[in-house]
Amino acid sequence: MPELPEVETVRRSLQTLVTGRVIGRVDVRLPRIVRTPSVDEFVADLQGATIVDVHRRGKYLLIDLGGKTLISHLRMEGRYGVYKAGEGVTAHTHVIFHLDGEKELRYQDVRQFGTMDLLPTSGLHDFAPLVQLGPEPLQKEFTSRYLRDAFSRRSTSVKAALLDQHMVAGLGNIYVDEILFRAKVHPMHSAETLSARALRCIVDETRNVISDAIAHGGSSVKSYVNGYGEQGQYQFALNVYGKTGEPCVNCGASIVKMKVVGRGTHFCPKCQRQPR
DNA sequence: AATGGCCTCCGGACGC
DNA sequence: TGCGTCCGGAGGCCAT
């Protein structure tokens, strides 16, 4: 499940692999992936474009084509790979970008949940999903003061609040569980009543977890691989996610899994006490 | 009106 | 072996 560290790792690999390449024909094999514009316009607009750079905002990959930007969200299982032209196309390959130099950039997605939007680069600031994103966790704007204000009058759980991309961009189910474990905060704790100390811990541990995970190339807990087809290594550093019934690394208590806002949520019942 | 939360998309994994 | 159920990111929709 690509979250910020995985998308950042994909970004870095694609930046190396496809920057400077010229796009030729584009095959859209599963039209639902392309949200805007129409598939015909999408294909026509990409023809002849040069990949200038690859950026990221939250969990969105931004493929910079100069005048246009391809905004790609991997959702659950989207992945990119660069292949030799004509190499056998695997199952679940939904979009093929033919490149110069006998290469193909292919988008694969078992769940078919991923999306692509092609917009004029000058109009990116009007694209609602990007505009509404909260700060990047590693930017200096993401402070405990910011989080206090963002979480005020939020009667929802801290887990739901951290998953909300409007609060902070790029966190998903795995890293929120890890952050709350390290911050010793119960996932059901209400967001608006977190202490100043808890808010500071959450901000610090968000930075720690996200930067460590990026340094390890993300977590491969499902099908995730980077643009080279390589797995991440941070799954071996996870403390609670997927550790149901295993002993807590701090206290030895059994890690518990419960549902919070419809998401499987892992935590240590002893280190992360239920508030009142 | 704003906010929270449930449903939906899909197919692999898993359990009975 | 086969069928039903579960899971999840984010947008749409509905209830309060």
- Tokens read off for A30: 């599963």
Which residues, 6 or more positions from A156, have their beta carbon under 8 angstroms from its beta carbon?
A: A190, A191, A261
Cite the beta strand spans of A211-271 per DSSP E. 256-260, 263-267
- Nearest nt (C1') from A264 Cα: C7
Q: What is the spatial distance, in angstroms and rounded to an integer, between the CA atom of A110 and the C1' atom of B12?
A: 9
Count the neighbouring beta carbons within 10 Å of the beta carbon of residue A57: 18
All structural domains of chain A: 4-131 (3.20.190.10), 144-267 (1.10.8.50)
Q: What is the spatial distance, in angstroms and rounded to an integer, between the CA atom of A240 and the C1' atom of B8?
A: 29
Quick one: CA dihedral A190, A192, A144, A221, positive or negative? positive
Whether any strand B atom is under 7 angstroms from the Cβ of A112: the reply reads yes
In this prediction the pTM is 0.94
- Tokens read off for A58: 């939250």
Residue A18 to residue A54: CA distance in whole angstroms: 9
Count the neighbouring beta carbons within 10 Å of the beta carbon of residue A269: 15
Q: What is the spatial distance, in angstroms and rounded to an integer, between the CA atom of A205 and the C1' atom of B10?
A: 33
Protein chain A, residues 177-236, with a C-beta closer than 7 Å to any atom of nucleic acid strand B: none
Q: Greatest CA span in chain A, whole angstroms?
A: 63
Count of residues in chain A: 276
Output the tens digit of pLDDT for each of chain A's 276 residues: 789 999 999 999 999 999 999 999 999 999 999 998 999 999 999 999 999 999 999 999 999 999 999 999 999 889 999 999 988 888 899 999 999 999 999 999 998 999 999 999 998 888 888 888 999 999 999 999 999 999 987 888 899 999 999 999 999 989 999 999 999 999 989 898 999 999 999 999 999 999 999 999 887 877 788 888 778 788 888 999 888 888 999 999 999 888 888 888 899 999 998 765
Q: What positions of strand B are covered by protein, i.e. any atom < 7 Å from a CB? A: 3-7, 9-12
Residue A14 to residue A51: CA distance in whole angstroms: 10
Q: What is the spatial distance, in angstroms and rounded to an integer, between the CA atom of A169 and the C1' atom of C10?
A: 13
Question: What backbone torsions phi and psi does residue A129 show, to the nearest 5 degrees?
Answer: -55, -30
Q: Is the peptide bond before A31 cis (omega within 30 degrees of 0)?
A: no
Q: What positions of strand C are covered by protein, i.e. any atom < 7 Å from a CB? A: 7-11
- Residues of A annotated as part of the active site: 2-3, 59, 263
